[in-house]
Amino acid sequence: MPEWIYFFDLCGTAVFALSGALAAGRHKMDPFGVIVLASVTAVGGGSIRDTLMGATPVFWINDPTYIIVILSTVLLTILLVRKPKRVPQKVLPIADALGLALFTIIGAEKALSMGLSGMSAVIMGLITGVGGGIIRDILCRQVPMVLRTEIYATASIAGGIGYTCSLSFGMADLSAMFLAMSTAFAIRLAAITWHLSLPAFDLRSQKPK
């Protein structure tokens, strides 16, 4: 893995660990609960991705730096964010949006590096981006964001498609990565800011004939 991709991967790990730690604080979990929630949020999606692609042992087992980043993020969050309820409400979704954008492209890049097709790369990017958040939300007894009407998975898919298409058109790796991450992050941020959502499939609203 190129050093710059590894750097972004660690940044995404820290961002998602922060997202999980803040979610744990809002649910009044103890320090062990914060570590667990931060960890599954940060490495859950990548673990599922590596398992599906047969890249085992999964990445964080081979490289303990990821665990160090998670534990450091948790420690700083516990020490610096003493009152999670006082943290602005948009901090958690914005941190989650940034992690989504970073991990989507990391997942797609790893799939392409293993010789998978562009479509498979988009799917692996999606799994990497949303997998940890799904586990986090389930542990918090919430419906995962990816299953609600919020524009979440759509942003990840758009980023993955943008990355694979940019590379196929000959764009440099770093430029393609920044463009795709910006696209995914901007779409998710717009959905948060203007409360954009997809139409719900609601059978209850249909009147029986």
Average pLDDT of 52-64?
95
Q: Which two tokens stand for residue 25?
A: 């604080």
- Looking at the chain, the number of H-run helices and the number of E-run strands are 8, 0
For the cut 70, the answer to whether the pLDDT of residue 162 exceeds it is yes
pTM of the model: 0.92
So what's the pLDDT on residue 89? Answer: 78
Nearest-angstrom CA–CA distance, 165 and 115: 15
- CB 184 within 8 Å of CB 156: yes
For the cut 80, the answer to whether the pLDDT of residue 104 exceeds it is yes
Of the candidates 15, 20, 18, the one whose C-alpha atom is nearest the C-alpha of residue 77 is: 18
Scan for tokens 């393609």, then name that residue. 176
Average pLDDT, the chain: 92
For the cut 80, the answer to whether the pLDDT of residue 102 exceeds it is yes
Average pLDDT of 70-97?
84
So what's the pLDDT on residue 203? Answer: 75
So what's the pLDDT on residue 208? Answer: 59
So what's the pLDDT on residue 150? Answer: 85
For the cut 90, the answer to whether the pLDDT of residue 80 exceeds it is no
pLDDT classification of 201: cutoffs 50, 70, 90:
confident
- CB 131 within 8 Å of CB 48: yes
Q: Is 81 exposed, middle or buried (0-12, 13-18, 19+ CB in 10 A)?
A: middle
Grouping H, G, I as helix, E, B as strand and the rest as coil, residue 207 is coil
pLDDT classification of 85: cutoffs 50, 70, 90:
low
Half-sphere exposure of 33 (CA within 13 A, CB side): 11
